[in-house]
Amino acid sequence: MEQLSLANPVFATYAIAAGIMLLKGVAMSWQTVFTMMIENGGFRNPEDGRKTPFNPKPHDRQLEPNPRVERTRRIQMNDLENLPYFFVAGLIYVTTAPPLWLAQVLFYGYVVTRALHFWAYMTAQIHDVRAMLWTPGSLIILFMAGASAWAGLQAAF
């Protein structure tokens, strides 16, 4: 059986988890856009302060950092620091043929802890809560990356 095909239950699990995290990651761009529209500010480009159909009443402070927009940008950045590594580590990990239950724990565990991390970041919980919800996801990536490198070493030498 091909490992990187939906006929493999481990890969199907990966497709579900990665698909959900992709939707979440891309949704952050939209959240940043909507927050800029609601706040009518937090823009970054000089040309974004021009009068246009989408920006009928421009004002000087639109190009200043806006606290709510900055928060969504930081959450978006946190995703960029984590999700691509999850996607790649997860994909290679599938080729190591892990037991299905373990893959489910790792992939779905990642999705759940990242969802909680998003809630904590969005609602400005104290750092300690955010850190506790970020750590499991990071350890899951490290475990899968280590298992992938180890399986590669065993196969190659």
Could you say which residues in the range 104-143 bind a copy of itself, by CB under 8 A?
124-128, 131, 138, 141-142
Query: Binding residue for a copy of itself (CB under 8 A) from 39, 63, 68, 85?
Result: 85
Q: Which is nearer to a copy of itself, 4 or 105 (CB)?
A: 4
Kindly state the smallest distance separating residue 133's Cβ from a copy of itself, in Å: 13
Contact with a copy of itself (CB under 8 A): which of 15, 63, 112, 115?
15
- CA–CA distances in Å: residue 30 to residues 26, 69, 82, 146: 7, 11, 19, 34
For residue 56, state whether it binds a copy of itself (rule: CB under 8 A). Answer: no
- Lookup: tokens for 136: 């499991």
Q: With binding defined as CB under 8 A, does residue 67 bind a copy of itself?
A: yes
CB of residue 107 to a copy of itself, shortest distance in Å: 10
Tokens for 81?
């620091």
Q: Which position has the token pair 């899968």?
A: 144
State which residue, 99 or 155, has the beta carbon closest to a copy of itself. Answer: 155
Cα–Cα separations (whole angstroms), residue 6 to 3, 9, 16, 97: 8, 7, 10, 14
> Taking the mean position of all CA atoms in its chain, how far away is CA 5?
23
Cβ-contact 62, 48 below 8 angstroms = yes
**Identity of the residue, 12 or 112, whose beta carbon is nearer to a copy of itself in the bound complex:** 12
**Residues 96, 16: Cα–Cα separation, whole Å:** 18
Q: Which of 38, 80, 102, 105 binds a copy of itself (CB under 8 A)?
A: 80
Which 16-55 positions form the footprint of a copy of itself (CB under 8 A)?
16, 18-20, 22-23, 25-26, 29-30, 33, 43-48, 50, 52-55
**Residue that the structure tokens 């499991």 belong to:** 136
Classified as helix, coil or strand, 7 is: coil
